[in-house]
Amino acid sequence: MNTIMLKAYAKINLGLDVLGKREDGYHEVRMIMQTIRLYDKLNMKKINKDEIIINTNLTYLPTNENNLVYKAIQMLKDEYGLKQGVYVDLQKHIPVAAGLAGGSSDAAAALIGMNRLFQLKLSKKDLMERAVKLGADIPYCILGGTALSEGIGEILTPLESMPSAYILIAKPSINVSTKYVYENLKLDEKTIHPDIDGIMDAINKKDLHGVTERLSNVLESVTIEKYPVIQEIKDTMMQNGAMNSLMSGSGPTVFGIFQDMNLAKKAFYQLKVQGKAKQIYLTDIFNRKRG
């Protein structure tokens, strides 16, 4: 095998809780992660020259060692002493720096691609153990589907598949610093923590309403205060038929969950008219088979 095409899927957080700050500076989290059918494409090809070449449709993305795809490829090249190079054509569709794990998913796909291209015979568990060295979300992006994420995000427990639903994604034209959000998060007795166990119970019962009524992200307390447009987008989704709406990750992307495609389309066009979101996508839940 000399070439391979992979899809790198985005994720949303159905619940995101922060339990506290660890001594190493990282935050202890407890999250429910879910893959959605919005993806980047990676075409990977072996080349004879010993180098990593990345081409992308976004001119502002780094294509050197500052890119997670580059880092993922280099890590396996170094570990296995691979002398052949790799060319990657990366077509980005997932909004960048948006709380949807686009970069992490690309890196996960690159690890999977390297494993197949060079027949490294690494198991999914092997790849996930290596992935955490590059970023806390990358092991989940290798696992995919519906999962409980704990620790700094690297402790993963696969869950029953989330019930089917339409997902409306809207990213406003702002950039949110994850570092800023975590540094300004205040955890005290007034903090309203998401009902993560309740979400898991609803997922097990295939109860979509039970999931949506418990959607919660503790980071919204920081991000919405600084960027009110996030709340405005949530409100628009709710006013146009969303079962519920939430910010994903540290933001600024908002997603709404819909049972009715027509209502989802109505909300899509309403957001277009308002102009509060720069990138809007209508997609659905994606539960791929786990191997």
Percent of the chain scored above 70 by pLDDT? 99
Closest listed residue to residue 15, CA positions, set 200, 196, 169, 187? 196
Q: Is the pLDDT of residue 290 over 60?
A: no
Average pLDDT across the chain, whole number? 94
Q: For residues 149-167, give the mean pLDDT.
A: 94
Q: For residues 184-198, give the mean pLDDT.
A: 90
The number of domains in the chain is 2
Percent of the chain scored above 90 by pLDDT? 88
Write down the pLDDT at residue 114: 98
Q: For residues 46-64, give the mean pLDDT.
A: 95
- Known catalytic residues are 11, 137
CATH (domain of 99): 3.30.230.10
- Residue 119 tokens read as 């027949």
**In a shared domain, residues 98 and 129:** yes
The per-residue pLDDT for range 119-142, each reduced to its tens digit, is: 999 999 999 999 999 998 999 999
**In a shared domain, residues 192 and 246:** yes
Query: Rounded to whole angstroms, how far apart are CA atoms 141 and 127?
Result: 11
- Least confident range from 79-93, 202-216, 276-290: namely 276-290
The per-residue pLDDT for range 65-114, each reduced to its tens digit, is: 999 999 999 999 999 999 999 999 999 999 998 999 999 999 999 999 99
Q: Last residue of some domain: 158, 193, 210? A: 158
Q: How confident is the model at residue 291 (pLDDT cuts 50, 70, 90)?
A: very low
Query: Rounded to whole angstroms, how far apart are CA atoms 66 and 69?
Result: 9
Residue range of the domain that includes 100: 3-158
Let me know the angle formed at the C-alpha of 40 by 63 and 104, rounded to the nearest 5 degrees.
65
**In a shared domain, residues 80 and 213:** no
